[in-house]
Each structure stands twice: as structure tokens, then as C-alpha cells.
A = this chain, B = another copy of it.
Amino acid sequence: MASESQRAIEAILMVADHPIEAGLLAQVLEVSPSRVEELCAELQASYEAEDRGFSIVRVAGGYRYQSHPDLAPYVERFVLEGQHARLSAAALETLAIVAYKQPISRAQVAAIRGVSADGVLRTLEQRGYIAEVGRDPGPGQAVLYGTTGTLLERLGLDSLAQLPPLGQFVPGPEVVEALELGLRADAAAARPEGRADPAAGGDALSAETLEDSDG
């Protein structure tokens, strides 16, 4: 049976997203760092005895949980099958929201997407496509994200002003269909001037379609 200190270590390491130094754990638990090392070793021994799928390891001067090496084949399948497929669609959506609505907070992205965006934002940040560009002045001082030069390079754009203009309307299903058809048929002809000036907005489609739906 785990002691209070052991349970606290489990809880903290479970929530942490980077290795936590023994000294820091010792401070929070009010025990000595060497005691923390003992406790972690005991926990690890119990996980081994129970044949758990994870372990507590010491990396980069701190402790963290990681998946057991035995189970790498499963984790790899998980990454390839689920994680990635989901990530690319979600990443595209998230990146689009940040690109067009920056600076924007994590919560605002989540509100637009309807689901939490934390993981995707972290991935995009790790890849260098987005970065923290400021803090919200309001209470909570939420981190605000924007896109980076790396992203522009990747998209082959000189500046954000070259992003394709967004329609001023929220398209209904029939408009989206028309939009997709229009893009497939001859995107360039349908938007003779739209590309040049994103600030003009509202002309993402042929004029006829837009007139009906813009409002």
C-alpha cells in the first residue's frame, strides 16, 4: 500500500509534462531529496512487481513516467493509426484558426473547434509553426499565439497579407459545396482579384454565389 508521500509523487509526476527534479519533489513533500529517491525506487519496484505498462525513470536530472519499452509496438501503432490521422486534420484546422484569427488564446481556439486544442497547439509549437506572441491583458493573462516565419516559408508566402481572403459570410452547406466545386473547376478564374488583397474579403467565390449568401 502506497504512503501519502508516494501517492503525492505519483500524482505530481502523472500531471507533469517534463521531468521533475528530486529536489523540487523533496521541497513539496517536506522530506529530504535522498528520501525522494528512495520513494521513487520503491514505487518503481512495485510497478515492476505488478508488471505495469509504465515505469518511473530518471531522465535529464528529473523523474517522469514513461511507457514500458516492451510495449513500444503498441504505442507505435497508436501513433501511426490514431494519433496521426486525427492530428493532421486537427492540426490543419487549428493552424488555420491561429493563422486567420491571431493573436488568439488556447481557449478561443478550443471554443471555435468545439474541443480542447492543447495537444495540437503544443505539437504545432514544437514544429515551430506557431509561437507565443503575447499575453491577454485581461484577468488570467492567457498566452496568445500567432504564426511564425517558418510557417510562411512552408506555405511559400511572403507575408500574412498573402493568405487567401476569408469570406465575410459564414457559408451554409450549399455554399460550401459551391465553394468546393468552384475551387476544383478553376480556382484562379473564380477569384480574379481575391488573392491579391485579403483585406478586401468577401470575394472568395464567384460574385454570383456570393451575392446570394453574403449578408
Could you say which residues of chain B place their CB within 8 Å of the CB of A127?
107, 111
Interface secondary structure of A, over-half rule: helix
Q: Are B28 and A82 in contact (CB under 8 A)?
A: yes
Could you say which residues of chain B place their CB within 8 Å of the CB of A108?
125-126, 128
CA distance A23 to B71 in the complex (A): 19
Q: How large is the interface on A (under 10, 10 to 19, 20 to 34, 35 or more residues)?
A: 35 or more
Could you say which residues of chain B place their CB within 8 Å of the CB of A15?
66-67, 75, 78-79
Q: 1/0 contact trace for A26-49 toward B, CB 8 Å? A: 011100000000000000001000
Could you say which residues of chain B place their CB within 8 Å of the CB of A106?
128
- Among A115-123, A180-188, A189-197, A199-207, which stretch is in contact with chain B? A115-123
> In the assembled complex, how far is the CB of residue A156 from the closest CB belonging to chain B, in whole angstroms?
14
Given the known inter-chain contacts A12-B67, A12-B75, A65-B14, please indicate yes or no for A81 contacting B118, CB distance below 8 A: no
Determine whether A8 belongs to the interface, using a CB cutoff of 8 Å to chain B.
yes
Could you say which residues of chain B place their CB within 8 Å of the CB of A110?
128, 131, 148, 150
**Which residue of the partner chain, among B11, B85, B172, contacts A75 with CB atoms under 8 Å?**
B11
Could you say which residues of chain B place their CB within 8 Å of the CB of A131?
110-114
Determine whether A101 belongs to the interface, using a CB cutoff of 8 Å to chain B.
no
| Closest partner residue, chain B, to A14 (CB atom) | B54
Given A10-B67, A111-B129, A111-B131, 10 other A-B residues pairs in contact with their CB atoms under 8 A: A11-B74, A14-B65, A18-B118, A28-B74, A28-B81, A107-B128, A107-B150, A111-B127, A111-B128, A111-B130
